[in-house]
A and B are shown apart, each in its own frame.
Chain A
Amino acid sequence: MFIQTLRWIALVISTLAILYNLIGNDWRKMGLASAIEFGIIFLFASLNLPISLALVKLLEGWMAIAILETTMSTISVMDEAIFDNHFTQMGRKEFLSPRLFRLFLAILVGIAIVANSSLVRILFPSLNSLQTITGLYLLVFGILMISFRQSIYSSAIGLLTFMGGFEVLFVGLESSVLLTGLLALVDLAIASVCAYLLYVRSEALR
């Protein structure tokens, strides 16, 4: 009962974190929200993997976020291509309507995911229902984020969210050590290449 409640809490927290990433305008808080997401991914991964292996997901996720955040904090010049809401960092106001639009779309998509998650469980019966919903949330909201926020930083966070959702689902199917390592490598590769792109863009601007 306690574990089930914990999973429900994890689902709610991950949803809030994803929603913040979709509408938020502070890259530091977005990084924090992503770090929370990886905590949730660890929690659901530990359903199917030994704790030591599930910890790999937590650590590589935090490492990926750390790579991105460190790069962002060292960038002196920013533009739309680096972070889409960079002007709010300089005290300028952002329009509310795009954020509202994203929020309403997220709510609609969220309802659709809950309604159709049973189809995924028919395909993969070994998955837990909350695990399926959380995985699909991360997967689909990652795609939404990549679509709506086309800066390098937001794309990186979107891709990491998307891969995190896939990992929540895939650990329920395959628990190979090499695959866990390779997927960790993929997350780190995404973070590293995006950090590199951020750096190159910033240098070009200077």
Chain B
Amino acid sequence: MNAPLIWIGIPAIVAFILLGLTRWKRLTASIAIFLELGLTGLAWILPVGKLTQFGIFAFEINPAWSILGRKFVLQSSDRPIIVILNLALILWFIGALECDIHPRFIPLGIGLSALMSAALFIQPFYYGVIFLFIAMVLAVVMLANISGQVGVGMIRFLIFQALSLPFLLLAGWMVSNLEINPNDTFQLTSVSLMISLGLSLILAVFPFHSWLDMVSTESHPFLVSYLFFIIPFMTNIFSILFIQQNPLFNNSLWVVAFFRINGFLMTMIGGLEAAFHHHLGKLMSYAIMVEIGMIQLILGLGFVSAENRSFMAIIFPLIFASLISLVMLGLSMSILQSHFKDLSLSSITGSEKNFPLATIAVFISLLCLAGFPITAEFPAYLAIWQSLFLNFPLGGISALVGSLGILIGCVRTLAVMMRTEETMDQMAVETSYQKILLGVGILVIFIMGIFPQIFVPITFNMGITFLGGG
């Protein structure tokens, strides 16, 4: 048995099987949840490449899986990524049980996660670009299939992902095959330019971020929230590995400038747009823009020198907290959408009357995404703000503008949702299961914010393990 087969091959096979069972939503979700629980547990406890003893049985999980002369290599240090990916799937599938999303979300979600993992663990690494593209194609299929319509945002998303592929493949090939002389400025500039363009396209940073808010209004909010978690998370991890595997870019000024400029622009633009939004889905996309910007700023600080690399592990607590808030936001928005059909501010006026918990959940999740004190993302944001103001004050200011913009947008949304509307349908309310899920989610966001010592050390160490091994 080998690790890629367990954590990539098995989920991919199960995803195919589950596609045939989507008539029975609860059965599909239950199988998927149990599978993901098993895979998360295995990733947490089972060391890769070491002899493991269970009673009289002794076995070893091989880290490599050879296929057509190439290898998928999943080391023991890569398990944190698997844990977070599978944990995210569990939470989204639990939410999917009680929201009106099509059951095909479940197998397609597993398939997307498996393809994203394959992109990270293939050797030579630049082949991963192709797997990443195939995963993005699956994401477009998910968007169109589940919403039943095609929007401009989906096509733009597909185009940007396709355009990134040649740039990254060529850059990866050049770095791994050409003897680049550091004094040959033409070659070095060409590679840097290609990587900048390729990474900008897949990371959805300025000016290639326009699909984010388009997609958020074109498809189901629960699906969009999942994609807004997995795509920024995996593409950022991919870009870290892409740069780390090329010694040419160690301590490169260009890498630092690239991430810092992107981080500055994304947090600024995201924050400003969030403050003036008029659609709840768009607000989620602007919050994600700020999140992407924050990750870029972290990378801009982390790539300065080898000693600073450990700072990049702060991405893991940040991502873990955003995972919880995005599930909550997606679930509460889908509850609102099932009643109001449209999530523009003019449509959801007075939603608090019939959907009190969903309204509070939207508010708390957005507060969390803004890094508001006593919410889950605050501990990570605090560390990032401190480091930014010490090393890159302009980035610190833009990060604050980003958070402030989301906060303003969030308060504006709450004001609209609390407005009394006398014509509301009195019959539509949240179900008991929805109330339990939303209540538990709100509680978890506060517990993680008030007692960061519970989750921050664990997730930070996961980051250290991954980045140290990667």
Give chain A's interface residues, CB within 8 Å of chain B.
Answer: 81, 122-123, 139, 143, 146, 150, 152, 155, 159, 162-163, 166, 169-170, 173-174, 176-179, 181-183, 185-186, 189-190, 192-194, 196-197, 200-201, 203-204
Residues in B neighbouring A143, C-beta threshold 8 A: 163
Contacts of A159 in B (CB 8 A): 158-159, 162
Could you say which residues of chain B place their CB within 8 Å of the CB of A169?
A: 170
Contact size range, B: 20 to 34
Residues B130 and A183 in contact, CB atoms below 8 Å apart? yes
Distance in angstroms between the alpha carbons of A159 and B158 in the assembled complex: 10
Known: A166-B165, A166-B170. 4 other contacts (CB 8 A): A81-B152, A169-B170, A189-B134, A197-B144
- Chain A residue at minimal CB-CB distance from B194: A123
Q: Could you show 24 A-B contacts with beta carbons less than 8 Å apart? A: A122-B186, A123-B190, A143-B163, A152-B150, A152-B155, A155-B158, A162-B162, A163-B162, A166-B165, A166-B169, A170-B169, A173-B177, A177-B68, A178-B68, A178-B70, A185-B130, A186-B165, A189-B137, A190-B162, A192-B137, A193-B137, A197-B150, A200-B145, A201-B149
* Contact yes or no, A170 B170, CB < 8 A: yes
Question: Shortest CB–CB separation between residue B30 and chain A, in angstroms?
Answer: 28
Chain B residue nearest to A182 in the complex (CB):
B130
Interface hits, B136-176 → A, CB 8 Å: 137, 140-141, 144-145, 148-150, 152, 154-155, 158-159, 162-163, 165-166, 169-170, 173-174
- B140 cross-chain contacts in A, Cβ below 8 A: 193, 197
**Chain B 283-305 interface residues, beta-carbon cutoff 8 Å to A:** none
Q: Tell me, in angstroms, the Cα distance from A169 to B169 when the chains sit together.
A: 12
Across the two chains, which residue of chain B brings its CB closest to A173? B173
Q: Nearest residue in A to B162 (C-beta to C-beta)?
A: A159
Q: Does A204 contact B150, Cβ atoms closer than 8 Å?
A: yes
Distance, CA A174 to CA B148, complexed state (A): 40
User: Which of the listed residues B130, B140, B150, B154 has the most CB atoms from chain A within 10 Å of its own CB?
Assistant: B150
Q: Are B141 and A196 in contact, with the CB atoms below 8 A?
A: yes
- Near A by CB (< 8 A), chain B positions 61-77 give 68-70
Count of A-B contacts judged by CB separation below 8 Å:
90
**Residue numbers in A under 8 Å from B159 (CB-CB):** 146, 155, 159
Complex Cα gap A146–B160 (Å): 10
In the complex, what distance in Å separates the CA atom of A46 from the CA atom of B150? 38
Interface flag for B344 (CB, 8 Å): no
Which residues of chain A are near B148, meaning CB under 8 Å? 200, 203-204
Give the docked Cα–Cα distance between A177 and B69 (Å).
Answer: 9
* Residues of B contacting A203 in the complex (Cβ-Cβ under 8 angstroms): 148
**In the complex, A41→B179 CA distance in Å?**
29
B172-213 CB contacts (< 8 Å) to partner A = 173-174, 177, 186-187, 190
> Within the complex, which residue of A174, A186, A197 is in contact with B155, where a contact is CB–CB below 8 Å?
A197
Nearest A residue (CB) for B186 = A122
Q: How far is the CA of A52 from the CA of B196 in the complex (A)?
A: 35
B positions within 8 Å CB-CB of A = 68-70, 127, 130, 133-134, 137, 140-141, 144-145, 148-150, 152, 154-155, 158-159, 162-163, 165-166, 169-170, 173-174, 177, 186-187, 190
Identity of the chain B residue whose Cβ is nearest the Cβ of A143 in the assembled complex: B163
CB–CB A139/B70 < 8 A = no
Q: Does A204 contact B149, Cβ atoms closer than 8 Å? A: yes
Contact indicator A81/B150 (Cβ below 8 Å)? yes
Report the nearest A residue to B176, measured CB to CB. Answer: A174
8 closest Cβ contacts across the A-B interface?
Answer: A166-B166, A201-B150, A182-B130, A189-B137, A178-B68, A197-B150, A200-B144, A204-B149
Q: How far is the CA of A185 from the CA of B138 in the complex (A)?
A: 13
Given contacts A162-B163, A182-B127, A186-B130, contact A155 B155 (CB under 8 A): yes
In the bound assembly, the distance between CA atoms of A189 and B140 in angstroms comes to 11
A50 to B150, CA, bound (A): 40
Q: Are A197 and B130 in contact (CB under 8 A)?
A: no
> A22 to B177, alpha carbons, bound, how many Å?
35
Residues on B with C-beta less than 8 A from A163 are 162, 165-166
Measured CA separation A181–B134 after assembly (Å): 13
| CA–CA, A181 and B130, complex, Å | 11
Q: Which residue of B lies closest to A189 (CB)?
A: B137
- Which residue of B is nearest A123, CB measured? B190
Smallest CB gap from A166: residue in B: B166
Q: Give the Cβ gap from B161 to chain A, nearest Cβ, in Å.
A: 10
CA distance A123 to B158 in the complex (A): 29
Considering the chains assembled together, what is the distance between the CA atoms of A18 and B444 in angstroms?
56
A58 CA to B159 CA in the complex, in Å? 23
State whether B127 touches A179 (Cβ < 8 A): yes
A156 to chain B, nearest CB (A): 9
Contacts of B187 in A (CB 8 A): 123
The answer to whether residues A193 and B141 also contact, given A123-B186, A178-B69 and a CB cut-off of 8 A, is yes
Chain B residues, CB < 8 A from A139: 166
With a CB–CB cut-off of 8 A, which chain B residues contact A178? 68-70, 127
**What chain B residues lie within 8 Å of A196 (beta carbons)?**
141, 144-145
Residues of B within 8 A of A122 (CB): 186
Give Cα A122–Cα B184 distance, bound, in whole angstroms.
12
CB distance from B448 to the nearest CB of A (A): 38
